[in-house]
Amino acid sequence: MKQLDFKHRYIPSPLQQHVVDNFDQKQRQSQEGIRDDKSNPLTLLLLHGTGGNEDDLIQVGQMISPSASLLSPRGKVLENGMPRFFKRLAEGVFDLEDLKFRTNELADFIKGSSSVYGFDLDKTVAVGFSNGANIAASLLLSYSETLMGAILFRAMIPFIPDNLPDLSNKKVLLSAGMFDPIVSKSQIQSLFDILEKSRANVTLKWQQSGHNLIESDILDAKEWLSKNFE
Ligand code: MLT
- One of 13, 130, 142, 175 is an active-site residue; which one? 130
For residue 88, the ligand 1 atom closest to its alpha carbon is: 2
What is the band of 16 on the pLDDT scale with cuts at 50, 70, 90?
Answer: confident
184 lines ligand 1 (CB under 6 A): no
**Per-residue pLDDT tens digits for 89-137:** 998 899 999 999 999 999 999 999 999 999 999 999 999 999 999 999 9
- One of 67, 95, 98, 211 is an active-site residue; which one? 211
- Give dist(CA 175, CA 171) in Å, integer: 13
**Per-residue pLDDT tens digits for 182-226:** 999 999 999 999 999 999 999 999 999 999 999 999 999 999 999
- Give dist(CA 167, CA 153) in Å, integer: 19
- Give dist(CA 160, CA 173) in Å, integer: 19
Pick 218 or 16 by higher pLDDT: 218
For residue 158, the ligand 1 atom closest to its alpha carbon is: 3
pLDDT of residue 34: 38
What is the Å distance from ligand 1's center to 85 Cα? 10
Pocket test for ligand 1, best of 50, 95, 99, 139 (most atoms within 8 A of CB): 50
pLDDT of residue 32: 45
- Give dist(CA 93, CA 158) in Å, integer: 9
What is the Å distance from ligand 1's center to 130 Cα? 6
Whether 211 is catalytic is yes
pLDDT of residue 86: 98
Closest CA to 138 of 121, 116, 155: 155
Q: Which amino acid is at 4?
A: L
**Per-residue pLDDT tens digits for 37-55:** 456 799 999 999 999 999 9
For residue 154, the ligand 1 atom closest to its alpha carbon is: 6
Q: Exposed, middle or buried by CB within 10 Å (0-12, 13-18, 19+), for 216?
A: middle
Q: What percent of the chain has pLDDT over 70?
A: 89
pLDDT of residue 46: 98
**Per-residue pLDDT tens digits for 139-170:** 999 999 999 999 999 999 999 999 999 999 99
Instruction: Indicate if the pLDDT at residue 33 is higher than 90.
Output: no
What is the Å distance from ligand 1's center to 224 Cα? 24
Element (H, E) at 224: helix 215-229
- One of 180, 198, 209, 220 is an active-site residue; which one? 180
In this prediction the pTM is 0.91
What is the Å distance from ligand 1's center to 20 Cα? 39
What is the Å distance from ligand 1's center to 88 Cα? 8
142 lines ligand 1 (CB under 6 A): no
